[in-house]
Amino acid sequence: MKNLSIILNVVLTIAVIGLYILHFNGNTTKTDKIEESVSGALMPEDIAIAYILEDSLLNKYEYFKELAEALGKKQKDAEADYTLKAQGLQKEIEGFQRTAGNMTMAQARAVEEDLVRKRQNLMMLQETVGQEMMREEGQLNLKLYNKISEFLNSYAAEKGYSLILNFKRGNAVMYGHAGMDITTEVLNGLNSQYEASKSEGSITPVSADTTLVK
């Protein structure tokens, strides 16, 4: 089904890494030394900036890979179900065309009306499944964003970062020094956190067997 898009086409657009959370209170190593101007703004020498390579992060983040795999399977199952129903309807139409000459006008009209109804139901199924997939994509997208946002919130406070940028092709960041790349460190932290969450049972992996439309 052409109108069914998987999470991979959506989640890459999320601003997972454009998190600029400052946690000066509670950071005793660096932020206690930050002097603010009268307006409350940071002085230039106190601003610490880093960036994350979005593609690298998402390609290796186990939580994202599981979400994408599960939703991809749901899409395949939905497409297979639709295709099976469409093929069945096509066979009925072909059968009607072969036997219509042996029917009375009333019989032919009844069969034709039934086929039209089935075709309309099939079109409604396609639309319903497409909407359901979009809804699930949105939910998983939000889960992913919240998970990374929560981690970067704590990470920025711990490391004393004032700004963490999302570095990907097409955005405003054209260059970043390799020393500012914290992708691997953040990725390791996210994956460790996710594995711990699975062990504790606080995260329920996405089921790929959920029925979208009955």
Average pLDDT over residues 118-142: 93
> Is residue 164 within 8 Å of 19, Cβ to Cβ?
yes
Listed in sequence order, the DSSP H helices in 100-182 are 105-159
Look at residue 17 and tell me if it is in a domain.
no
**Domain membership flag for residue 172:** yes
Angle at 179 between CA 177 and CA 183, to 5 degrees: 100
What local confidence, expressed as pLDDT, does residue 169 receive? 79
Place of tokens 């069969």: 111
Reported confidence tier of residue 203, pLDDT bands at 50, 70, 90: low
Q: How far apart are CA 83 and CA 207, in angstroms?
A: 22
Asked if 57 contacts 17 with a C-beta cutoff of 8 angstroms, the reply is yes
State the pLDDT confidence band at 129, using cuts at 50, 70 and 90: very high
165 in Cβ contact with 18 (< 8 Å)? yes
Rounded-to-integer distance, Cα 57 and Cα 165, Å: 13
Percent of the chain with pLDDT strictly greater than 70: 72
Instruction: Determine the average pLDDT of the residues in 116-145.
Output: 92
The residues pairing with 167 across neighbouring beta strands, listed in sequence order, are 53
Q: What is the pLDDT of residue 29?
A: 43
Q: How many domains would you assign to the chain?
A: 1
Q: Is residue 50 part of a domain?
A: yes
- Give the tens place of pLDDT for each residue, 26-41: 444 444 444 443 345 6
Which residue range(s) make up the domain with 92?
8-12+44-200
User: Which pLDDT value is given to residue 214?
Assistant: 37
SS3 28: coil
CATH number at residue 50: 3.30.910.20
Q: How much of the chain is in helix, strand and coil states, percent to nearest 5? A: 65, 5, 30
Note whether residue 49 is domain-resident: yes
pLDDT of residue 187 exceeding 90: yes
Nearest-angstrom CA–CA distance, 145 and 17: 9
Is residue 195 one of the residues assigned to a domain? yes
Identify the pLDDT of residue 204. Answer: 54
Percent of the chain at pLDDT > 90 equals 53
